[in-house]
Amino acid sequence: MSAAAFSVSLKPILQNGFGGKSTPWEAVFLPVSEFPVPEEKMLPIRKLWGACRQAFLKGGELPSEVFLQTNHLGRVGSARLVDHAREWMPDLGLGVWPDREPPRLRTHADFQDLGPGEKMQPMMYQLMKISGEALTKKKALATMLGTGVALEIVTPEGGEAFLKRSRALLRPPIKEPGFRRFPFYVPILELQSLESATREQLDTWFCGASAYIRESVQDNGILIVSKAPLAPVLEQMGGEFLREPEPLWRIPILS
């Protein structure tokens, strides 16, 4: 192996022992230049996601659910989905931001409140859940990673238990009948969600999940959240935690 000509820098969001919040949850953020990510910049993402999921899934002992954030499929993502839809047999559900107003129909006031050049937020945030065995989900991730749509949630109690808890949390506040008919509901979180959340809110929002990895178009990067310490995973990748000039993890990427 030879060291690549670059390394990646991960910003700690929730980092026990490194000046972060007092919470069992830890999180780091990997910024990207754009979505979809150009192929020549995909190596760090593949390495990091692969190492984290290997650790979070404990080498395959724990299950996970893989989702595609359909609002951001775009041309590249849509083409890849069409090529594999029959293999993945995705189910359609709803992503819900637990720290925002629940999904609803637009009102006249929504249009009046728009500023110059401001775009209307989507009424709903749809997700597709990849069906099938662990290998199918792994292949789906490998195919869609970098398009801005990938979301993987590690579910120690099983996917069914996770979706039951997430439905119980996220569906009741929704009043619009059309938005209450989805078969499953999944929490969608971004940097702002994590930075402002309390420990109790994080425990509630993750609905029994032990790890959460999301391509966040809203933040232009990748969120990695875990209830277990992240340092062992990052150090195994050769990572070094730097405190100055601002806290970050520096990880060399090997080709």
| Domain annotation covers residue 134 | yes
Instruction: Examine residue 107 and state whether it is found in any structural domain, yes or no.
Output: no
Strand 221-226, strand 185-187: pairing:
unpaired
Residue 110 has pLDDT above 50, yes or no: yes
- Residues 226-230 have a mean pLDDT of 93
Supply the pTM of this predicted model.
0.92
**Does residue 24 form part of some domain?**
yes
| pLDDT level of residue 15 (50, 70, 90 thresholds) | low
- Mean pLDDT in the chain? 90
- Confidence at 111, pLDDT banded by 50, 70, 90: low
Q: Which residue has the tokens 């192996």?
A: 1
**Residue range(s) defining the domain that contains residue 192:** 3-100+123-254
Asked if 248 and 12 touch (Cβ cutoff 8 Å), the reply is yes
Query: What total of structural domains would you count in the chain?
Result: 1
Percentage of residues in the chain having pLDDT higher than 90: 76
* Residue 12 maps to a domain: yes
Report phi then psi at 235, rounded to 5: -70, -35
Q: Is residue 183 part of a domain?
A: yes
